[in-house]
A and B are shown apart, each in its own frame.
Chain A
Amino acid sequence: MNGVHDMGGMHGMGAIHYEKNEPVFHARWESRVFALFRLTRAWNKWNVDVSRRQIESIPAAQYLRMSYYERWFTALGELLVASGLITRAELVKGKRARGSPKATPPITAAQVASMPSAAALARREAPVAPRFQAGQQVRARNLHPVDHTRLPRYARGKLGAIHRDHGVWAFPDAIAHFLSDKPQHVYSVRFAARELWGETASPRDAVYLDLWDDYLEPA
């Protein structure tokens, strides 16, 4: 999706504001949203790409206006309703519907430390052959899917080289829709800064992206 979340290379986003001795959370509600988001994921009703897709679908003007945890909060409400964990009426009223069953939380305080990471959940053991080898020249495909993808716009159509093979992972464009995992190799791909940004970029510099087989073609 050519959404506003795909920010690499954009201008006009202002200066970087650095906060000294920044707290982990700036308000209590931020920590609550963080915890709710992490803990409801344990119901396995969605994966990290489903939740990213939900955040990316926030209309651009709102996305830019919202703070980070506001986006999370907005996406969480929609994920909970879409997954059937709560109803729209419950979300709007903030009250449990009469007669609705009471569940048992999947994660207790003692289990928090051993919750699996997004990486552990996305890794696949499937014996899929790599299409490319380290050192090989590749081109990022000129794709413009209308939905979730992890191929940033700024790299599309650009020439790069395989730096290393990260092994086999689930494919975000598929799992964002609960489709088959479409497991495939992910590679670190080196793009020269000048290939991406033209002659004003330093001839030495480079950007490395982690890209799936389906995003690449031989060059």
Chain B
Amino acid sequence: MDTTRRGFLAATSAAAGDHAQAADQHHDHDHQAVPSDPTLRVKALESLLVEKGLVDRAAMEALIDAYEHKIGPHNGARVVARAWVDPGYKQRLLADAPAAISELGLPKPSGLLAVENGPRLHNLVVCTLCSCYPSSFLGLPPVWYKSAAYRSRAVIDPRGVLREFGLELPEDVEVRVWDSTAELRYLVLPERPAGSEKLGEEALAALVTRDAMVGVAKAKPPQAGGGA
């Protein structure tokens, strides 16, 4: 199979010609050495699949639009904010996250678990084997989550990783790392920040970042909440 793959790459590279990689130059970190213009190679495969009736182009547009504009961390932020203001909801979220999420009118994810941070407990999510992430709920993962650096270090040196994200945890805090090796996905329920007692649900949701729901950050303090 290696030889056929090399043949495939060589053939498609040759077919694609020797175009510059202009489209990629703004994000060269973690996108090492793209061998030839992927735009043309992908376009060729897309045309082939559409021509053969294997893929519907309108479905492609709908799927991409959903992930670019509809599905994203704002969904998770709503759920976290509700859990902060409603203890009963929080219990239901921790017991059955998909059901609690669909309570808010959001699409029901499958196989999602919520893990709660506390004063003496911090949770961190990783997928060491690939890139498992609660995508249907939080949107597609950022590049750093899928990077070799994060995947390799989050399990062996979680405190060092958190320090790089600007989060220094005291020794007496337990760190739990959740390595998503099966089809279960994890949502970190961050601690409600101090000083947020008077905020309403919408203002609270603005404090909940994607990073906080992966566990590489805490929820933002209210003064840093921007328009909150």
Interface on A for B, CB 8 Å cutoff? 5-11, 13-19, 22, 24-29, 31-36, 38-40, 43, 48, 52, 55, 57-59, 64-70, 73-74, 76-78, 80, 85-86, 88, 90-96, 100, 102-105, 107-113, 117-120, 122-123, 150-152, 154, 166, 169, 186, 188, 193, 196-197, 201-202, 204-212
Collect the chain A residues with CB atoms within 8 Å of residue B199's CB: none
Interface on B for A, CB 8 Å cutoff? 1-2, 4-5, 7-9, 11-12, 15, 23-24, 26-27, 29-35, 38-39, 41-49, 51-56, 58-64, 66-68, 72, 107, 109-111, 126, 128-131, 136, 139-140, 142-144, 146-156, 158-159, 161, 164-165, 171-185
Q: A122 to B50: give the CA distance in the assembly, Å.
A: 28
Residues A152 and B179 in contact, CB atoms below 8 Å apart? yes
Residues B34 and A108 in contact, CB atoms below 8 Å apart? no
Give the dominant DSSP class at B's interface. Answer: helix
Residues B149 and A39 in contact, CB atoms below 8 Å apart? no
Minimal beta-carbon separation of A128 from chain B (angstroms): 15
- A9 touching B183 in the complex, CB below 8 Å, given contacts A103-B54, A112-B62: no
Minimal beta-carbon separation of B41 from chain A (angstroms): 7
Give the dominant DSSP class at A's interface. Answer: mixed
Collect the chain A residues with CB atoms within 8 Å of residue B1's CB: 57, 78
Collect the chain A residues with CB atoms within 8 Å of residue B59's CB: 35, 39, 105, 107-109, 111-112
Nearest CB in chain B to that of A102: its residue: B53
Q: A50 to B10: give the CA distance in the assembly, Å.
A: 24
Minimal beta-carbon separation of A56 from chain B (angstroms): 8
Nearest CB in chain A to that of B15: its residue: A94
Residues B32 and A65 in contact, CB atoms below 8 Å apart? yes
Collect the chain A residues with CB atoms within 8 Å of residue B41's CB: 73
Residues A15 and B164 in contact, CB atoms below 8 Å apart? yes
- A85 touching B54 in the complex, CB below 8 Å, given contacts A32-B43, A36-B49, A205-B174: yes
- A5 touching B129 in the complex, CB below 8 Å, given contacts A169-B182, A209-B181: yes
Q: A32 to B39: give the CA distance in the assembly, Å.
A: 9
Residues A208 and B136 in contact, CB atoms below 8 Å apart? no
Known: A5-B130, A94-B15. 16 other contacts (CB 8 A): A13-B153, A15-B164, A24-B72, A27-B27, A29-B38, A59-B2, A64-B32, A80-B54, A92-B8, A94-B48, A103-B54, A109-B59, A112-B59, A186-B184, A197-B156, A205-B174
- The answer, among A52, A201, A211, for a CB contact under 8 Å with B130, is A52
- A19 touching B164 in the complex, CB below 8 Å, given contacts A96-B52, A169-B182: no
- The answer, among B31, B42, B52, B153, for a CB contact under 8 Å with A73, is B42
Residues A117 and B38 in contact, CB atoms below 8 Å apart? no
- A152 touching B149 in the complex, CB below 8 Å, given contacts A29-B43, A65-B33: no
